[in-house]
Each structure stands twice: as C-alpha cells, then as structure tokens.
Structure 1
Amino acid sequence: MFGKIIQCVVAGAVAAGGLAAVGSLPANATTIPAVNVAVKAAPATIACPSAACVRLASGLGESVRVAPDGQGGAYVTYQNGDLREVDLASGTSTVVARGLGNLRGIDVHGSRAYVVDFGGSLQRVDLGTGARQVLASGLGALQAVVHDGASGSTYVSGNEGRLVEVRESGAPRVVAERLGLSQGIALDGRGNAYTADMMAGRVLRTELATGATETLASETYEPTSISVGPDGQVYFAVADQVTRLDPATREKVHFANIRGLNTAGFTMDERGDAYATDLGAGGSLWRIPGLGG
C-alpha cells in the first residue's frame, strides 16, 4: 500500500565513446548484481464523506475527544463537563453524566470510562449509571488518559509534561517528566507508552517500569493524537496528515491525507479503524475503516 519494490538489473560496459547498448554487451562486460530499490507511493487522499470515511453521527456540538467502546458505541467528552454516548448504528447520542469538569481525554474499558479534566483530576465513570469516582486529583492541567486493563493502572499526562501512573490504591507515581504537551497516550502492550509532544514536535517512547524515555521522531510540526495500531506501528496526525512510524526502525511514512474534516486528530481502535470528531457543521463523528494495520 505504501510502496513497492522494483527489482533492477543493470548491466553495461564502457565502450569507445560511451556505454555499450543493452543486448549487444561485449564479452568483457561487467554485470552489476540485482538491487532492490524501495519506492514510496504518494500519500493516499481520503475524502470525507466517501466509502473510506463515513459519518456516524451529527449534531454533537464542540466535543473534545472520542473513544470507541468496541461494542457498537463511542463516548465523547465536552469542556462543559458532559460525557455523551453515541450509538454508532443509529447516530443518536445520550448524556451519560454531567458536571465532570473541564473534560479532555477519555479511555473506555468495558462498562467504565476514564476521563481527565483541565483541573487536574482523574475520574472513573460507570457507563450504566453515570456514577463517578475521583481516582486522583491535583495532577495539574490534564490532557490525556489511557487505562491498562492488564495491570489495572491508569496513565495520565498534561501540560506539565509528566506521565503519571494511578492505581486503585496508593499515591500516584510519576513515571517520567519533561515529555512536553501530549494530547494522547498509547500503550503497545509490551510495557511502553507513546506520547506526541505538540510543542517540540517529538514522538516519544517511555518504558513504564523505569521511566526511561527516548525520542523516536522529531521535527514534526505539532503532532496531535497518537495511537498504536494492530500492526504495532505508531500513528499520529499533523493537521489533516496522518503519519505512520515504525518504532523499531524509526522510519516515518506520511501515508494519508484526510480531506473535508475540521478535526484535531483521531483515535484508533484495536481493529485499526480510526474515529474522528469534526468541529464544523454542528459537530459530527466519523469512522475511517482500516486506517491502521
């Protein structure tokens, strides 16, 4: 999809006055072994609406972040403290809870949502009843959250550049600092977290056990959102451009342009389908099937 391999066999010999013509090589001609040359294709253009970009719901207003639940629904947050559920089949939305603060990031696991607000708190919301529990507070202006179902830990980050682990009991643990401002956190299931520093244009990988952090990509203008696809690759957006990053080789490929949406980024589910909120025309939710993986 993103490139093709062209195999070239070049043979030639220097003859008097120039190169010998192919097909009439002299006996002493030198043959250059076959080489594989990788040719990257131009980025794909994904138009919204189209078969590759489907509107799921409209009339959502100015939502902040979105998280699919993998069960036919998605949840969106609002700065006024609302948490809404969107039925992806019908496009209808309902309020799950109100008064949650100046909301930013959200992650959904089973019947629970984990949300963070700009006031510095992490809350867990029961999606069936709307009941909420504050898991941590006083963490500074938060932007991003991800819950690790395997370990039971929740990780948050915000404007102060810290990645913080919150568990059911015990004080929050600062995993790493000086990570910049990231609007998302992605886990790879192998003990690493990925963040995208909007201010410095970096994509970072942090080992959760030790806090050791390395820069995988730099000189990227204001990367927003970050996801790990089912293929193990890291995906992030810069305006309407989507880039795929190989965490092993650190190769970046600008592989897609998303046209027709006024969005700050996207989130990707475990199947590689991307979901994006459009701030224009009253607010809408879109799905881009198979964007990752």
Structure 2
Amino acid sequence: MRSGTAMRLPLDRPARSLGSRGRKLGVALALGALLASGTAMTLAAPAVAATGDITCPSTACVQVAPGAGSPVAIAPDNAGSAYLAYSGGDLLKLDLATGTLTTITTGLGNLRGVAVADGSAYLTSFDGRLQQVTLATGSRRTLAAGLPSLFGVTRAGSTTYVTDGNGEIVAVPDGGTARVVATGLGFSYGIAFDKAGLAYTADMMTGRILQTNVTTGATRSLVTQSYEPTSISVGDDGLVYFMVAGEVKRVNPATGVQSHVTNLVGINSFSFSLAASGDAYTTGSGNDGLWRIVGLTAR
C-alpha cells in the first residue's frame, strides 16, 4: 500500500544548500540524475496522524541537531556519535548527547553514502569514488575510482561493499581491487548485512527488497511491488527494515512475512539509519536537522 506521507530528498548542510526545483521522481532509475543535480521530490502529505503513527516532534521523535541541515547519509557509530555526509563534500561528527557538530573534513566530492567502522568512515560519491577517511585525523585515501555512480556503502569484515547505478553490488577488499559480486539489483540507495553475511538492498525501480549472497551472487526477492523503497537496515532482531515514503516497514528474511511498523508524520523523511540500540536517525524537510526515532525496532 502506498503511503501518503511527504518525502523530500535530502540535499546539504545549511551553508551549502543546493535549493529545490520540485521535480517529482517518475521512475527510480532517474533518481541518480536527481541526486546529482540536487533536485527534490515531494509527495502529498496526510493532514493528521493515525493511531500508531509517530508524530515529530514528540517523545518518540526528538530533534537532536537542528543545525545539521540535511545530510544525504547518516552513520551512527553506536558509541555516542553519528557521522553525517553531505552532497557538498563535507563529513561531520555529531555528538548525540550534546548536539555538538564537528567538521572532520571537507572537499570529498558529491557524496551519497557513509559507513563507519574501526575508526574510519567509508564514503561513496556520485562520481564513482569510494574514499576512506580516518576519523581521528581527517586524512583520506581513495580505495576505488572510475566506477559507476556509487550510493549505498557498508563494511563486512575487511571488505567494503557498495551499490552502484548499474544495479550492482561491488566489493572492495582492503588492499585489493574492486569487483562486481552481484548484478540485476536495480537501484538501491543503501545496503545492509545481517549476522549471517547476507546482503540486503531495496530496489526503487521495481519495489523489491532483495537478499543477496555476495559469495555466490545469488539473489532472492523478499518483498515485491513495494512503492519506491528508499532505505534499508537490519536490526539486532534480525529483521530487515525499510522505508516506503514516510512509512517504515519490516520483513522477516526467514519467512518473507512483512509488516507495518509506523508512519513518520510531521517531517518529510527520505530514509533512516538504524542504530544498534533500535533507535533510528533521519532528516526532515529543508534544513531542520537530524531527528531520533526512539525505539523503532521495539514497535
């Protein structure tokens, strides 16, 4: 079922906002061009919240960083901080307790995704680069370049996995060469792994939630015809969480059974990042900063 909740693509931090031109996304493959240009997408918003919805602001939806603008990607480190990537090329650290923002580095290009592991941030960009930034110093190095436009990114062991605009998962092992490990996945803005080492992506073109064995390349659909899913996370409960407009849903990968979690009302949320605590972090419309969705996986 299509949610009526409004959705707007995140653009940038306040000082570098690219502005919106209000173009609606026609098909999911066009999203890459929209993201590159900074174009916004908007769907009609409901007038009132229904029972079970999360209204922002509220005790269940707390604004934690009003000055954070609209990062294109968020990576909680599960140690009290979150790292924010912006399309203008900035990487910021947010202290979740105080709301303090610190710039780690700038000039990283047209960023699209961020993952944090072992003292480093791993960042994808629209120009096909995968970069590693040491969080303590801000020093950077390029792990791969010349690839198709890159979007989702995550770490599994000593390998970085990314999704690209060609519908592929690309593996970049530490000290190794980038190689395609799965194809035919459509357009996924994110990627997540479960504890068994299986990867999950959300195809905005066909509405599929996909499970992929990155060793064999074998893929199966857990969900089909879900309207333009824009977010993908795996909770500590082993369930796969994703967003359809402003509706959060989850699916049990073992059974394929999906269920409604909640609608986010009062903010135009494009996607969310799930922390180990079960809280989720998302941005709203315009430059209204970062929001914490409290106890999302417990709902």
Q: 1:107: which partner in 2? A: 115
- 2-structure distance, mates of 1:258, 1:193: 26
Q: 8 Å contact 1:112–1:124 — kept in the other structure?
A: yes
Give the TM-score of the pair, scaled to structure 1.
0.82
- 2-structure distance, mates of 1:204, 1:43: 30
C-alpha displacement at 1:43, in angstroms? 6.8
Give the TM-score of the pair, scaled to structure 2.
0.81
Q: Does 1:53 align with 2:58?
A: no
Structure 1 counterpart of 2:118, one-letter code: G
Q: Mean alpha-carbon deviation: is it higher for 74-83 or for 165-174?
A: 165-174
**Deviation sequence 1:229-264 (CA, Å, 0-9, x none):** 111000000111011101111111112111111220
Q: 1:225: which partner in 2? A: 231
From 278, 284, 290, the equivalent of 1:285 is: 290
Give the superposed CA RMSD: 1.3
Aligned length: 249
Q: 2:94: which partner in 1? A: 86
**Deviation sequence 1:241-292 (CA, Å, 0-9, x none):** 0111011111111121111112201010122111111233x23111112111
Q: Which has the higher contact order (CA 8 A, sep 6+)?
A: 2
Structure 1: segments with no counterpart, 5+ residues: 1-41
From 60, 63, 80, the equivalent of 1:72 is: 80
Q: Which runs of 4+ in 1 moved over 4 A?
A: none
C-alpha displacement at 1:126, in angstroms? 0.7
- 2-structure distance, mates of 1:249, 1:181: 24
Tell me the secondary structure at the aligned position of residue 227 of structure 1.
Answer: strand
- 2-structure distance, mates of 1:141, 1:64: 15
Tell me the secondary structure at the aligned position of residue 59 of structure 1.
Answer: helix
Change (3 A) 1:284 1:48: same
- 2-structure distance, mates of 1:259, 1:139: 37
Q: Does 1:236 align with 2:211?
A: no
Tell me the secondary structure at the aligned position of residue 296 of structure 2.
Answer: coil
Written as runs of structure 1 = structure 2, the 5 A alignment for 1:161-240 is 161-240=167-246
Q: Does 1:265 align with 2:260?
A: no
Q: 8 Å contact 1:43–1:256 — kept in the other structure?
A: no
Identical aligned residues as a percent: 51
Larger strand percent: 1
Q: 8 Å contact 2:78–2:275 — kept in the other structure?
A: yes
- 1-structure distance, mates of 2:288, 2:67: 5
- 2-structure distance, mates of 1:48, 1:82: 27
- 2-structure distance, mates of 1:225, 1:219: 15
C-alpha displacement at 1:114, in angstroms? 0.6
Tell me the secondary structure at the aligned position of residue 221 of structure 1.
Answer: coil
